[in-house]
Chains A and B, each alone.
Chain A
Amino acid sequence: MSESMPIWSLIIEASWVVQLVMLSLLIASVVSWVMIFQRAILIRNAHQSLRAFEDRFWSGIDLGTLYREVATEPDPDCGAEHIFRVGFKEFTRLRQQTGADPDAVMEGAQRAMRVAMSREEEKLEANLPFLATVGSTSPYVGLFGTVIGIMNSFRGLANVHQATLASVAPGIAEALIATAMGLLAAIPAVVAYNSFSSRVENVVNRYDTFADEFSSILHRKAHTRVNQD
């Protein structure tokens, strides 16, 4: 085996179980990278639009005007905007009803915002479990392929009288590729999962804060109006 061993020949000559393992790992890797890119884009957009919306919200603009602007061209990426839209809509709708109790109005608006927030959170966290699964299982899948490969290589060794390193090495190298692929699939998935989940948590916290701030504004509005009446 003094000849160079191109990696492709190692993959092609592996047994079919190992090849199956490699194929599944390759697919897992591709899909998890799709998820990684998609999540990265989505979370970045959510961050940016959240910041932009907060700037707009605190710029002293009239809430009714803001609502009209937002309702005509909603930004699907921005969770805070969605929360604001739903909350404000619910608030105005309830308040327009005659004899609405300010607390009841507030409660309704808050409930609507909670629902919108959990929707947003769901949207942000979608696909993250897949990354976690790939991250935690693909090393084991790769290891399984390696064990099978090494088993085969040793079984082939049983017929040889004098076992040399050269007679085992190719089989082991072949088998180890499966582990390498498993790790290659798992490492980015784990890193991405950790980074994304912390970022999602960050964004969700900010949504939460925003919802609280917004509901305090609405609360003030509801009660001042009642007091005026």
Chain B
Amino acid sequence: MRIPDSYRLPVILALALHMLAGLALLVVWPVSDPVKFKPVPTHVKASLVQVKSKAKPVAPRKQVKKKPKPEKKKTVAKKPPPQKSDQQKKKEIALKKKKEKAARDKKEAERKAREKAAAEKKAKQQREKELKRQRELKQQELQREQELASLLESEEAFEQEQQQAATDHELAMGYADVIRQQVIPHWSRPPSARNGMVTVLQISLVPTGEVVDVNVIKSSGDAAFDDSTLRAVRRAGRFPELQQLEPRVFDRYFRKLQIEFKPEDLIR
């Protein structure tokens, strides 16, 4: 595309102008920004305290039972072979010895037979045990699967509950803010108020929004200041907005409400 000669310079000038303007904005804007509206220190802060601990303790963690390992009792009771208690009596009577030997042989044979029988019995028991163990294992597997399924289910429910809790919390924050703003105009700070003082009150509310009780949980150390905060809450009296809240949320967050008073906006 050819630009007519008479337009070439104007085009260049116009583009240069706009680029300059854009660059100036890019450079100057962040400089002029640090004005950053400083947030007014919130001198009254309502903090939500949950009265009831969350209905469910952190979901049942995986507690898969450890499968009891069948102990292998391999301690086959071996009979100690009878001590050879002869020989030391010298060769008095060969006959006796012979007899003895025969008896020993016999004994030996007997013992062998017994041992064999025992071993057989043992093997049988072992086999049975093995079978039983396998059956048990299968059972356990099944159980585990079931457990896992139920765990998954409970996890889902837990998640849902948490989500619900999050929205509830958000809602409650909003209402706490409303309460805070209603208390502020009623608060007149005493001359003894100093920056850095903090008084925390606990307000007991009923679902109609009425304040039934106010207590100082954490004193600022200055009685007049504490009194002024108490007066402010009593003067505010009731917060009818709370009637709109669901009882569930109210119970969780507003039965007892903590409000923090700080005279941070004083210039002293």
Contacts and interface: CB of A to CB of B under 8 A. Distances in A.
Interface stretch (B31-39, B130-138, B183-191): B31-39
Interface in A6-25: 6-8
Interface of B is mostly: helix
Nearest to B6: A38
Contacts of B39: 2
B180 to A, nearest CB: 12
Contacts of B36: 2, 4
Interface string B211-244: 0000000000000000000000000000000000
B170 A161 contact: yes
A34 B10 contact: yes
B210 to A, nearest CB: 22
A42 interface: yes
A37 B13 contact: yes
A5 B13 CA distance: 30
- The bracket for how many chain A residues form the interface is 20 to 34
Contacts of B15: 30
A161 B241 CA distance: 14
Nearest to A5: B33
Nearest to A8: B26
Nearest to B3: A34
A167 B17 CA distance: 35
Given A7-B26, A30-B18, A33-B13, A161 B174 contact: yes
B166 interface: no
Contact of B10 (A7, A29, A38): A38
Contacts of A42: 6
Contacts of A7: 25-26, 29
A38 B29 CA distance: 31
B25 A37 contact: no
Contacts of A115: none
A148 interface: no
Given A2-B39, A162-B174, A33 B18 contact: yes
Contact of B33 (A4, A30, A162): A4
A45 to B, nearest CB: 10
Interface in B138-190: 170-171, 173-174, 177
A34 B10 CA distance: 5
B249 to A, nearest CB: 12
Interface of A is mostly: helix
A31 B17 CA distance: 12
Contacts, number: 52
Given A4-B30, A162-B177, A34 B14 contact: yes
A41 B7 CA distance: 10
Nearest to B177: A162
B18 A26 contact: yes
A174 B34 CA distance: 19
Contact of A34 (B11, B29, B30): B11
Greatest chain A CB density within 10 A among B13, B15, B26, B173 is at: B13
B59 interface: no
B51 interface: no
A35 interface: yes
B118 interface: no
B113 interface: no
B9 interface: yes
B99 to A, nearest CB: 108
B25 A29 contact: no
Nearest to A35: B10
Contacts of A34: 7, 10-11, 13-14
Smallest CB-CB A-B distances: 10 pairs: A37-B10, A33-B14, A162-B174, A38-B10, A4-B33, A34-B14, A34-B10, A37-B13, A7-B29, A161-B174
28 contacts: A2-B36, A2-B39, A4-B30, A4-B33, A4-B34, A4-B36, A6-B29, A6-B33, A8-B26, A30-B15, A30-B18, A31-B14, A33-B10, A33-B14, A33-B18, A34-B7, A34-B10, A35-B10, A36-B14, A37-B9, A37-B13, A37-B14, A38-B10, A42-B6, A161-B171, A162-B173, A162-B174, A162-B177
Interface of A: 2, 4-8, 26, 29-31, 33-38, 41-42, 161-162
Given A7-B25, A26-B18, A162-B174, 5 more contacts: A5-B33, A6-B29, A31-B14, A38-B7, A161-B171
